[in-house]
Chains A and B, each alone.
Chain A
Amino acid sequence: MSDISLPRIQHIVGSGLVACVGAWVTYVSYTQQPSEAFLFPRLIATVFFVLALWTFIKACLGWTKVGNGVSVTQLSNLAPGLLVALVYIFWAAKGLGFYTATTIAFFILLSLYDPAPHTALKSWLKRIFITACFMVVMYGLFALLLKVYTPREIFF
């Protein structure tokens, strides 16, 4: 109990959240009707809640192996990428059309995480080239071969 490390705090918060979800699920499944349809969810929810609570208590008391957690560097590394990914999935894909949104998101992600220097023109050309290749493959596979009709708002 002496050294409260960052992973441990995260672990307590994480398992606490899981326990909260467990509590909510249990509450909902015991209050909804018809009760025959919720028989199985009730059983699962109860076990879910007990296990989640146990994990949470173990986390608080420090009786458990803590995963690696997410370090501050990792968090700052992943934040921009995650943000782009979420905007892409939850808004752009539908709002701009699949192919447009994917092209933009793909290019931004490459630019964010590609180690090649951002000052060199050559590296930008390379990124554009990779993006174009990927989109050609995706279009060929999904639109031409599988004939999936994805949302297309602007352009394609």
Chain B
Amino acid sequence: MKTLLAGAAMALMGLTGAALADGHANYPERPIMMMVSYGAGGATDFQARIVTMTAGNEDALGMPIAILNKPGAGGRVGWNWLATQAEADGYTLGAYNIPHFVAQSIKGGVQYSADSFEPIANWGADPAVLVVGADSEFNTLQDVVDFAKANPGKLTTSGAGLFVGHHIAALQMEKAGEMKMAYIPTKGGGAAAMKAVIAGDVMAGINNLSDAFRAAQAGNVKILAVADLERNAFLPDVPTMVESGLDVDNSSVNFRGVMVPKGTPQGIIDKLAATVPAMFENSRVAGKMKAGGSPMHIMTRDEVLAMWAAREETLKELLAGL
């Protein structure tokens, strides 16, 4: 009995010793949690669940990733939690939405900024689109602009919240068209904003391309323009805003990806940055994303760092006047 105990103790010591010696080579040793700052079933949550579904495979992380939803106030609740309360041990990841969290940190009133997090990889890019109800009298972006110019502040336009991608797009449209719209933020994210358009509560709406694509397929809305640099593969017939005469770039495109709180050991960040983009490239992931109408855009950690910096600059300029 004594030898058995001693043996067990030795084995235990050996195990911990090994783990200490080679740093984070054994990471991850238990399931990982990924915080999504929007509700279950939203576009971010849906995509996060798909792109992490192969995490448990041996060629990926070897451990499953569980999604933890912390919705509220356009994402502020979740990102505040990740920046201030989450443990930076590599077992708590977070999903980011650009430009949302950068714009919110520029506006203030939150406990995070781009410096509070370390990006790992980007999985998707969802441009904002301008939608109107199926029976709306607007048929082109020009119609909408003409109306807004003739009736300043009367064009009610729904979007998912304040200082999220949709709001940025609306601000850019106002600036480019020298017009005034009435931006109506909804509680309940993109789905509620889309409902407002379909039901005719508002005259127009700005929404995610993935959700709008679905609604247009069902014949409930018309998509008038995409706020991106190029036309989107899902909607080859819909012009970009620039093509239609409004100088709106891709600042409002909703980039989604994985990040960790600052203070996470560098070894873990490196390991994640190396494996996660490959995990996104898995053909099963790509297939499910395509089936769900969600555009993918995989970027590595270095590319994301550059993109964050560029976004911060443009957003500071755009939001300076507000």
Looking at chain A's contact residues, the main secondary structure is: loop
Closest B residue to A37 by CB, please name it: B109
Question: What A residues does B30 contact at CB under 8 A?
Answer: 149
Question: What A residues does B33 contact at CB under 8 A?
Answer: 149
Closest B residue to A148 by CB, please name it: B66
Cα distance, A147 to B32, chains bound together (Å) = 11
Closest B residue to A34 by CB, please name it: B109
Question: What B residues does A147 contact at CB under 8 A?
Answer: 31, 66
Question: What B residues does A149 contact at CB under 8 A?
Answer: 30-31, 33, 66
Cα distance, A87 to B143, chains bound together (Å) = 65
Question: What A residues does B31 contact at CB under 8 A?
Answer: 147, 149
Least CB distance from A53 to B in Å reads 32
Cα distance, A147 to B65, chains bound together (Å) = 11
Within 8 A of A (CB), among B24-74: 30-31, 33, 66
Least CB distance from A19 to B in Å reads 30
Closest B residue to A151 by CB, please name it: B87
Least CB distance from A146 to B in Å reads 10
Cα distance, A54 to B31, chains bound together (Å) = 54
Digit string of A131-156 for contact with B (CB within 8 Å is 1, else 0)? Answer: 00000000000000001010000000
Cα distance, A147 to B66, chains bound together (Å) = 9
Cα distance, A124 to B30, chains bound together (Å) = 37
Least CB distance from A103 to B in Å reads 21
Closest A residue to B92 by CB, please name it: A149
Cα distance, A149 to B66, chains bound together (Å) = 10
Least CB distance from B13 to A in Å reads 18
Cα distance, A147 to B33, chains bound together (Å) = 11
Least CB distance from B162 to A in Å reads 11
Cα distance, A147 to B30, chains bound together (Å) = 11
Cα distance, A59 to B33, chains bound together (Å) = 51
Least CB distance from A33 to B in Å reads 11
Closest A residue to B87 by CB, please name it: A151
Cα distance, A149 to B33, chains bound together (Å) = 9
Cα distance, A147 to B63, chains bound together (Å) = 13
Least CB distance from B73 to A in Å reads 11
Cα distance, A147 to B64, chains bound together (Å) = 11
Cα distance, A149 to B68, chains bound together (Å) = 11
Least CB distance from B65 to A in Å reads 11
Closest A residue to B33 by CB, please name it: A149
Cα distance, A106 to B30, chains bound together (Å) = 28
Question: What A residues does B66 contact at CB under 8 A?
Answer: 147, 149
Within 8 A of A (CB), among B65-103: 66
Cα distance, A123 to B287, chains bound together (Å) = 61
Digit string of B1-39 for contact with A (CB within 8 Å is 1, else 0)? Answer: 000000000000000000000000000001101000000
Cα distance, A149 to B30, chains bound together (Å) = 10
Least CB distance from B48 to A in Å reads 17
Going nearest first, the 4 A-B pairs with the smallest beta carbon separation are A147-B66, A149-B33, A147-B31, A149-B31
Q: Using CB atoms and an 8 Å cutoff, list the residues of chain B in contact with chain A.
A: 30-31, 33, 66
Can you name 6 A-B residue pairings with CB atoms under 8 Å? A147-B31, A147-B66, A149-B30, A149-B31, A149-B33, A149-B66
